[in-house]
Structure 1
Amino acid sequence: MTLLPLTLTLPLAPLLITIIATLLLYPITLALYRLYFHPLAKFPGPKLAAVTDWYEFYFDVVKRGQFMWEIGRMHDLYGPIVRINPEELHINDPEYYEKLYSGKRDKYARWVDLGATPGASFSTVGHEHHRLRRGALNAFFSKRAVVALEPVIQGKVGRLLGRFGGVMGTGEVVRVDAAFTALTMDVISQYSFARDDDYLSEPDFKLQWKETLIGAFEGGALLRQFPWMLRVMNLFPDAWVAWMNPSMKLMLDWKAGVRARVKPILDGTEKEEEGKGHRSIFHELRDCNLPREEKTVGRLCDEGQILTGAGTETTATTLTQITFFLLEDRGILEKLRSELRTVMPTKDSEISVTRLEQLPYLSAVISEGLRISIGVTARLPRIATDEILKYKEWVIPFRTPVSESGYFILMNETIFPEPSKFRPERWLKDSKYNRSLEKYLVNFGKGTRQCVGMNLAYAELYLTIARVFRKYELELFETTIEDIEMAHDFFAPVPRLDSKGVRIRVVGEVKEQYGWLL
């Protein structure tokens, strides 16, 4: 009786030894391959980064958005091209940026997992597939379309001015970063769905939405490392996921809110009062000639999530940073106001984006605000599909993911001396706007994957800065440079996590200076 179990277990010993040996040998073999036989083995970089993705995981997830600075350290040690993980190269060269992001480029499949929206144009890997999806959006975000929809932006900016007027002189403190996020969210929602949730009317400007976005951006780093997590979560009802992970509730509510707007448009079941006025993006997508499989609720909900997310935070961050620096340096603010008075004689003068774009100093302020706010901090890997890329003496193996980071260009000391300082004058030459630096203003990317919302963002920036600072006197409240200075790369720049945001008081209205008219 006692011999039977022993007899049964003896054949298992060789199998167990084989399994243990395999588990030990596999990572060793993989490490040796990646170090000495992988197509990228000849490229410089830390050996540990070449061996394992856990190197990136440590800096991006454990240390919460610090990998970008580690990449910068790699370049300091190894030069302008480095291997930053087992599969990817990173280049730090402003002159190569346009070459890398122009032409037929696929996205890196692993990288787009961070969006958790596989059906969105942003997450589309293939160049041709992206071209199909992007083509359906281009017309709506063209310069002409944005000009036609300018009344929507004007109306939302007017609502923001009304909120500021309501607290003027009261001493009430306003989270201006949340206010600008509410503004851009209401604008993109109106553009996308022909209705919005009126975050501009919320007492705290729906601060929760801003916090949701930051949480989503940080969560993207984890999904990029473990893309299977999203597939696992999708196996469970949303209510279960929210119960297991309360921090996911806001994300799931956002997803459900987009679906609640997209589905009635696709089904034609909108309420009678909805969908009036202008035709929204999703009305256009519903009626365009995209193939039927491109018009499913799931795919278009993914598109809606990206549009509302990307169309909110980056522009709001730029508005926030410009506001901080204008209030920090009254000399810059007075120069701006002096110029604004030439086209806005009174603080309530009507003005158009087209007219504002002709103002050199305002344009310089906008460009400097874009530069110093960075926009998208994350590197954006691309895979060349129609050529073998070469960088200096390096021949890059075909279909290798290669990236650059806009941060290193926008903060390049050679191109932008004293890059951490807000200096609109760097964009001026002989009192005229100097376009020679615009090739390095890479906030919106380059090439066919350039941000589709660029024209909309510029319209929001010009109208908001001009109308707010022509009308109101603001002052900072217990806010320092640390409240806007980037401390974390969560795809978008995020300041120190204990920051209370950029806070202001509305002191009064701008005093008219009639003397200049005489």
Structure 2
Amino acid sequence: MAPLLASSPLNWALIGVSLTVAFVIGKAFYNIFLHPLRSYPGPFLWRVFPIARYARLAHGDLPFYMKELHAKYGPVVRITPNELAFCDPQAWKDIYGHRSGGAPELPKYEYFYRAVDNIPRGIINAFRDEHAALRRQLSHGFSERSMQLQEPIIGSYVDLLINRLQEKCQGNAAGVDMREWLNWTTFDVIGDLAFGSAFGCLESSDYHPWVRLVANSVQQTAFMQIISGLGFRPITRALLNMKKMAITDNQKLVKEKLEQRIELGVERPDFLESLIKKKEAGEMSFMQIAANAATLIVAGSETTATLLSGALFLLTTNPDKLARLTKEVRTSFNNDDEITLTSVGKLSYMLACLNESLRAYPPVPTGMPRQSPKGGCFILGKFVPEGTVVAVWQYAINHHSEFWTEPNTFAPERFLGDPKFKSDQTDAMQPFSVGPRNCIGRNMAYAEMRLILARIIYNFDMEIAEDSRQWLATQKAYTLWKKPSLNIIMKPVVR
């Protein structure tokens, strides 16, 4: 009878539960008292298990909460058993910058940049040597010469934007949803610059299916990162094969659009020309080009539209700043034709407004994680063990009172030498990152944002609609923002 009892399902269940409890307690004890990161401060539950951190990410408020954690625990916070968050300007250089003495750069954290491991690598998640080669190939499309050749392409879509807005705002007292119009514009531009044809968003005044997929994939990608980070990476592969996943549909459309671009058979001053030549030479596969094309679509459109949306919200909710910028734009040009990618470079207050918008509303509000390399490294003068996940969280550092005077105030003057903000540490803000893997499209992004914003301000008087006054306060943030409608009352300027 005794052996029978010992092997009963109940006993086996009790044994399983006991072993699980013992493992959990043992793991918790190790993470608190024995782990190499045990000396770093942070919330107790976050230091014990990663579930608390990922719960905040799933809820969409992790970047905001990180600001609170740094205010409470200081410049370095342990946010999972094996992850540290940093809030200090020097950390940008220590984590993302070039390292002295030939030491290798900190590698990107694989479970974030490549939550699903059965898709080709692009410039964002490529290994170091592969990234250097890709960057050299893509840099041609972002050169000064290419930007000059691309200006007629970009300008034609900005012209169309202005024309469509003039049509839509007539008698529209409720306002125009500028989130949509800015998204449509930047997607049409990047569609032409990457694939040789627009998505037709501005022409049809509606979303192309691909644009919707990119917007929907923002939250899906965050959940993929959660699953992968919790150690269930194989599940992400199964999810990727589901027909209803926006990420899967997005990959399909990238392939179709890329095939159309290759079939054009003509040289264009776009981003993919050099990669297509590599394919023709047998040095790069179709899927490798597709992976980079998918990256360009998001990085070259969604982030630009996000920043411009944020800038319009911040300007229309700060009428005195909008009035000063309006005066600068309208006294600098006599007509629309004078507003070009080059001429907008002289608008100093506009650049300050864009920089302040990047600070207050960074398109990527989270941290972009790296891992401490083999043998570990020093960050902010303290040794960080090998394999530790590390990042600077942009929203948190951009709103920290130690680096910014009145961090919750929209003040473009802080970037113009105003004595009130002389103590600001502007190097705390790095929206395009730093080091060898900083954003290759920085100059293009600034030029495009200046051009679009200048043309809008030159042609329209603007006022925030009442139903959008809480636009920023109601948003969720994953790796990117999940933006609600931004209704702005637009009144054409009569000349």
Structure 1: how far apart are the matches of 2:393 and 2:76? 12
Structure 2: how far apart are the matches of 1:105 and 1:275? 40
Residue 182 of structure 1: how far off its partner (Å)? 0.6
SS of the residue corresponding to residue 272 of structure 2 reads: helix
1:430/1:74 Cα in 2 relative to 1: closer, same or farther (>3 Å)?
closer
The amino acid of 1:281's aligned partner reads F
What per-residue deviation string (whole Å, max 9, x for no partner) do you get for residues 148-203 of structure 1? 31222111101101101223433274211110011111111111111121111223
1:71/1:484 Cα in 2 relative to 1: closer, same or farther (>3 Å)?
closer
Spell out the pairing of 1:163-174 with structure 2 (5 A cutoff): 163-171=164-172, 173-174=175-176
Tell whether the 8 Å contact from 1:191 to 1:281 is kept in structure 2 after alignment: yes
Structure 1: how far apart are the matches of 2:271 and 2:344? 26
Tell whether the 8 Å contact from 1:116 to 1:220 is kept in structure 2 after alignment: no
Which residue in the other structure is 1:429 paired with? Answer: 417
1:449/1:333 Cα in 2 relative to 1: closer, same or farther (>3 Å)?
same
Instruction: Please say if 1:286 is aligned against 2:276.
Output: yes
Deviates more, 1:326-335 or 1:25-34: 326-335
RMSD after superposition: 3.2
SS of the residue corresponding to residue 357 of structure 1 reads: helix
1:79/1:361 Cα in 2 relative to 1: closer, same or farther (>3 Å)?
closer
Residue 48 of structure 1: how far off its partner (Å)? 1.8
The amino acid of 2:143's aligned partner reads S
Instruction: Please say if 1:187 is aligned against 2:189.
Output: yes
The amino acid of 1:34's aligned partner reads N
Residue 19 of structure 1: how far off its partner (Å)? 4.8
Which residue in the other structure is 2:142 paired with? Answer: 141
Instruction: Please say if 1:35 is aligned against 2:26.
Output: no
Structure 1: how far apart are the matches of 2:208 and 2:153? 22
Spell out the pairing of 1:51-200 with structure 2 (5 A cutoff): 51-61=48-58, 64-103=59-98, 104-114=105-115, 118-121=119-122, 123-124=124-125, 126-171=127-172, 173-200=175-202
Which residue in the other structure is 2:407 paired with? Answer: 419
Instruction: Please say if 1:325 is aligned against 2:309.
Output: no
Structure 1: how far apart are the matches of 2:326 and 2:8? 86
1:130/1:34 Cα in 2 relative to 1: closer, same or farther (>3 Å)?
farther
Structure 2: how far apart are the matches of 1:115 and 1:509? 49
Deviates more, 1:482-491 or 1:383-392: 383-392
Unpaired runs of at least 5, structure 2: 99-104, 229-233
1:438/1:382 Cα in 2 relative to 1: closer, same or farther (>3 Å)?
same
Deviates more, 1:89-98 or 1:167-176: 167-176
Deviates more, 1:407-416 or 1:274-283: 274-283
Tell whether the 8 Å contact from 1:326 to 1:332 is kept in structure 2 after alignment: yes
Deviates more, 1:386-395 or 1:66-75: 386-395
Which residue in the other structure is 2:102 paired with? Answer: none
Tell whether the 8 Å contact from 2:210 to 2:253 is kept in structure 1 after alignment: no
Residue 470 of structure 1: how far off its partner (Å)? 1.0
Tell whether the 8 Å contact from 2:278 to 2:284 is kept in structure 1 after alignment: no
Structure 2: how far apart are the matches of 1:220 and 1:100? 24
TM-score normalised by the chain length of structure 2: 0.86
1:52/1:8 Cα in 2 relative to 1: closer, same or farther (>3 Å)?
closer
Aligned-residue sequence identity (percent) comes to 24
Structure 1: how far apart are the matches of 2:145 and 2:375? 34
Residue 44 of structure 1: how far off its partner (Å)? 1.8
What per-residue deviation string (whole Å, max 9, x for no partner) do you get for residues 326-384 of structure 1? 334443333223322444113x2333222221222222122222222211011111124
What per-residue deviation string (whole Å, max 9, x for no partner) do you get for residues 305-334 of structure 1? 222122222211221222233334443333
What per-residue deviation string (whole Å, max 9, x for no partner) do you get for residues 180-235 of structure 1? 011111111111111121111223x318766544432222221112133331134x
Tell whether the 8 Å contact from 1:487 to 1:494 is kept in structure 2 after alignment: yes
What per-residue deviation string (whole Å, max 9, x for no partner) do you get for residues 417-475 of structure 1? 222322222221389xx9x9653331111112212221221111111111111122333
Tell whether the 8 Å contact from 1:353 to 1:463 is kept in structure 2 after alignment: yes
Which residue in the other structure is 2:299 paired with? Answer: 310
Which residue in the other structure is 1:359 paired with? Answer: 347
Structure 1: how far apart are the matches of 2:350 and 2:121? 34
Structure 1: how far apart are the matches of 2:407 and 2:310? 14
1:89/1:456 Cα in 2 relative to 1: closer, same or farther (>3 Å)?
same
Structure 1: how far apart are the matches of 2:396 and 2:350? 25
Structure 2: how far apart are the matches of 1:276 and 1:161? 30
Instruction: Please say if 1:46 is aligned against 2:36.
Output: no
Tell whether the 8 Å contact from 1:89 to 1:400 is kept in structure 2 after alignment: yes
Residue 125 of structure 1: how far off its partner (Å)? 5.7
Spell out the pairing of 1:182-331 with structure 2 (5 A cutoff): 182-203=184-205, 205-206=206-207, 212-227=213-228, 228-234=234-240, 236=241, 241-242=243-244, 248=245, 250-265=246-261, 268=262, 270=263, 274=264, 278-288=268-278, 295-331=284-320
Instruction: Please say if 1:462 is aligned against 2:464.
Output: no
What per-residue deviation string (whole Å, max 9, x for no partner) do you get for residues 481-516 of structure 1? 311346422112345xxx4x11123322244xxxxx
Structure 2: how far apart are the matches of 1:128 and 1:452? 16
SS of the residue corresponding to residue 206 of structure 1 reads: coil
Structure 1: how far apart are the matches of 2:281 and 2:106? 23
Which residue in the other structure is 1:399 paired with? Answer: 387
Which residue in the other structure is 1:373 paired with? Answer: 361
Residue 264 of structure 1: how far off its partner (Å)? 4.4
Tell whether the 8 Å contact from 2:471 to 2:486 is kept in structure 1 after alignment: yes
1:66/1:122 Cα in 2 relative to 1: closer, same or farther (>3 Å)?
farther
